[in-house]
Amino acid sequence: MDAKRTRAVNGVFSGVTFLSSFTVIMAVLGIFACLCLESAPAVREYGFFRFITETRWDYAENVFGGFRPLAGTVLTSAGALLIAVPVAIGIAVFITELCPSFLKGSISMAIELLAAIPSIIYGMWGLFTFAPLIENTLQKWIGGTFGQIPFIGSFFSAQYAGGVSIFTASLVLSIMIVPYIASIARDTFSQTPAILKESAYGIGATKWEVIRDVVMPYCKTGTNSGIIIAAGRALGETMAIAYVIGNRHGPLNSLFDPYTTITSVLANEFNEASGLHMSSLFLLAFILFIANFATLTAAKIYIRKKVNR
């Protein structure tokens, strides 16, 4: 084979590989464009700000407002992070500082397997096993104690049966995002230079003081980016939420009320929707896309900035 032909083959091959990798850009641009186009009728009808502040979601009146699904998504994600962050950091501390080395690998893998279990399995377990359990234990207990407090008591008492609620959804979601934070925190914890820790031990610090004052500040960037990535995951989690949130378009009066999120309303109503209803669903999907994309981009930029410094 002469040199000319070799160069041509090499050029074609590099071109093909480039085009293949370019499909990622095409897919993201395609998603952006499609969601924009499909949600345009809803934006024209309501305007963006009226859409996100409108609370009604009414098929009969043909009015679709995004406030409740948006609030549901934000509340479940925030609740899940509130529970998952301390637990995940505890897991990372345990694996890097306490765990006997022969168990390290298997415990790390077990925690990571939590992320491999499909969303729909969390949904099955959540609906048939976990939600009734919560209804009979935590929900009863919280309703019985905090529910007695005047004025704010109603916020803690249950109005609906079955245990499906924004509270259960946050709990299930928190289990699902723990592995993302825990594995990143574990990786960064274990990269803390031994000399830093040893100098703290040398001046008499206890193990916890070393973790709190040396390891955690050193690993702030990694842990924070893990939390942001987990937040992105939480926003977009669909099937598990669709099972345990209860899918109710109504005001949220109690922690134990069924509610709705962007993803659950999409999963439940998309196939039966048409016209303005469909366009409103696409607008919700578009908002979720932007929120998720912005969150993960922020995590990327954050890491890059910190690492370069």
Partner 1 sequence: MITGYARRKITNAAALVLSACAAALGLFFLFYILADVLRHGIMSINLKLFTLDAAPPMMAGAEGGLRQAFAGQLMLTGGAVLIGVPLGILGGTFLAEYGRFSKIGRFISGLSDITVSMPSIIIGTFIYSILVKPFGGFNGWAGAAALAVIMLPIVIRTTEEMMRLVPWTTREAAFALGAPYYKVITQVVWRGAAAGIFTGILLSVARVAGETAPLLFTSFNNNFLTFDMSGPMPSLTVTIYQYAASPYEEWVKLAWAASFVITLFILIINILGRQFIKWRYKN
Subset of residues 274 to 293 that bind partner 1, contact rule: CB under 8 A: 281-282, 285, 288-289, 292-293
Which of 66, 232, 246, 258 binds partner 1 (CB under 8 A)? It is 232
> Can residue 184 be called a binding residue for partner 1 (CB under 8 A)?
no
Task: State which residue, 67 or 125, has the beta carbon closest to partner 1.
Answer: 125
Figure out which of the listed residues 99, 138, 252, 276 binds partner 1, where binding follows CB under 8 A: 99
Which lies closer to partner 1 via its Cβ, residue 147 or residue 235?
235
Compute the least distance from the CB of residue 62 to partner 1, in Å: 21
**Assigned token pair, 242:** 């669709």
Q: Which of residues 143-172 bind partner 1 (CB under 8 A)?
A: none
Q: Where are the beta strands (DSSP E) in 18-161?
A: 57-58, 63-64
Q: For 136-199, give the DSSP string.
A: HTHHHHHHHHGGGSTTTGGGGS--SSSS-SHHHHHHHHHHHHHHHHHHHHHHHHHTS-HHHHHH
Task: Please give the Cα distance from 41 to 278 (Å, whole number).
Answer: 9
Residue 101 three-state SS:
helix
Q: How far is the CB of 217 from partner 1 (least distance, A)?
A: 16
Residue 57 has phi, psi (to 5 degrees) of -135, 85
Q: How far is the CB of 147 from partner 1 (least distance, A)?
A: 26
Q: Least separation, in Å, of the C-beta of 225 and partner 1? A: 11
Is residue 300 near partner 1 by the rule CB under 8 A? yes
Interacting positions 239-258 with partner 1 (CB under 8 A): 239, 243
Which is closer to partner 1, CB of 25 or CB of 161? Answer: 25
Q: Is 111 in the site for partner 1 (CB under 8 A)?
A: yes
Q: Does 192 bind partner 1 (CB under 8 A)?
A: no
Question: What secondary structure does DSSP assign to 279-297, as a single string?
Answer: HHHHHHHHHHHHHHHHHHH
> Cβ of residue 161: shortest distance to partner 1, in angstroms?
17
CB 267 within 8 A of CB 242: yes
79 neighbors 170 (Cβ within 8 angstroms): yes
Residue closer to partner 1, measured from CB, 5 or 61: 5
Torsion of CA 212, 216, 218, 222, to 10 degrees: 180
